[in-house]
Amino acid sequence: MPKSISLVFIGILVIAACQPVRSQVEETLPPLPSATAAMTEIPDEIFVDVELSVEKPTLQATMPAATEEPQSEKDQWACEEDFCLVDWPGWLERPIGEGASRTIDRSYPYGSRGDGSLDLHYGVEFLNGYGTPVLAAQAGEVVFAGTDDTIKLGPFYAYYGIVVVVLHSGLAGIDQDVYTLYAHLSEIGVAEGDMVAAGDEIGRVGASGAAYGPHLHFEVRVGANDYTDAVNPVLWFAPLDDHNHPKTATLAGVILDRGGTPVPKFSLTLEKRSVTGEVETYYYPETYFPTGLNAHFLLGENFAVPDIPAGEYRLAFIAERMYEYSFTLEPGCMGFIKIQLD
């Protein structure tokens, strides 16, 4: 039978918290609760128990806070059945500034092969014109600034072209180094050893390396500066909120087979619905191409959809039978859904 999830909020604090924020006040993000937990219970376990490729750190994760007032774990998480909603301010700023395209290209997402003919993607793309300023996504130290002609930063030499890598020690409150990579640049504005602040210009958009046109290829790497340590950058950003894309949200989730293993290369249909139930927009996310691709250290996801309008949604797919889920995404929030096939 189709399932319908009607999300109930835990008081006004959850609703108020799910707004994009720009402050950098730090507080502890609670561990994600069990998908089937009652909304008044926040267990200590992580949301999913699938094995991650990235070693799990302690669950004391530092994030920007929505307000300076600390919020309890019960006020931050709102869950019912298979779906949870949480304020998601993110750890990183967008590497492209106001006035340019700050949206993440959905045609070639992390963990995909695009139309099937492309290399497995370890990052995301920001499609912008040649020469658009590229900004540091967070404070850190420049550990690489140059070309990858003689150093292998990706699947092969000269893959990224002109590239900058920034180290962010202690980011997200985990005990592993976090690196951000900015590739296919046309020029570089920093040198190795430079300390940068979030929003500092570090280069310009180009089409160097294995690029078909001007864009920024952006990666987040956890643990080591290697493309095999890349994770989905989507889940390190707050949902976008600007003049062109106000009050968006993020959806992530994991689709598990009967044995509890994430299902690879699985197509889903996501519908944005009006308050009266009509379909306004279709999205077609797909789970990560290979099983075992690195997931977010708190989530264990195998798909994510960034920067979609807040509102009512229906997620559906067929796997021997119809699976159907309805839920609400609030502005500035991330919705997380866990589905196990039966």
Contacts for 202 with CB less than 8 Å, ≥ 6 apart: 134, 135, 136, 142, 145, 164, 166, 182, 188, 189, 190, 196
- Given a cut of 50, whether residue 305 has pLDDT beyond it is yes
Query: How do residues 204-224 score in pLDDT, each as one tens digit?
Result: 999 999 998 999 999 999 999
φ/ψ of residue 128, rounded to 5: -145, 160
Range with lowest mean pLDDT among 24-28, 85-89, 208-212, 220-224: 24-28
pLDDT average, residue stretch 80-101: 94
21 or 93: whose pLDDT is higher? 93
Q: State which of 213, 236, 259 marks the end of a domain.
A: 236
Mean residue pLDDT across the chain: 81
d(CA 126, CA 102): 7
Q: State which of 236, 253, 270 marks the end of a domain.
A: 236
φ/ψ of residue 279, rounded to 5: -75, 125
- Provide the pLDDT for residue 248: 96
- Given a cut of 80, whether residue 188 has pLDDT beyond it is yes
Token pair recorded at residue 173: 């409150």
pLDDT level of residue 18 (50, 70, 90 thresholds)? low
3-state DSSP of 174-194: CCCCEEEEEEEEEEECCCCCC
In terms of residue numbers, what domain contains 288? 11-56+75-90+239-340
d(CA 56, CA 102): 30
Count of domains for the chain: 2
- Given a cut of 90, whether residue 75 has pLDDT beyond it is no
Question: Do 172 and 253 sit in the same domain of this protein?
Answer: no
**Is 118 within a domain?**
no
Question: Do 316 and 230 sit in the same domain of this protein?
Answer: no
- Given a cut of 90, whether residue 57 has pLDDT beyond it is no
Contacts for 271 with CB less than 8 Å, ≥ 6 apart: 279, 280, 281, 282, 283, 313, 314, 315, 316
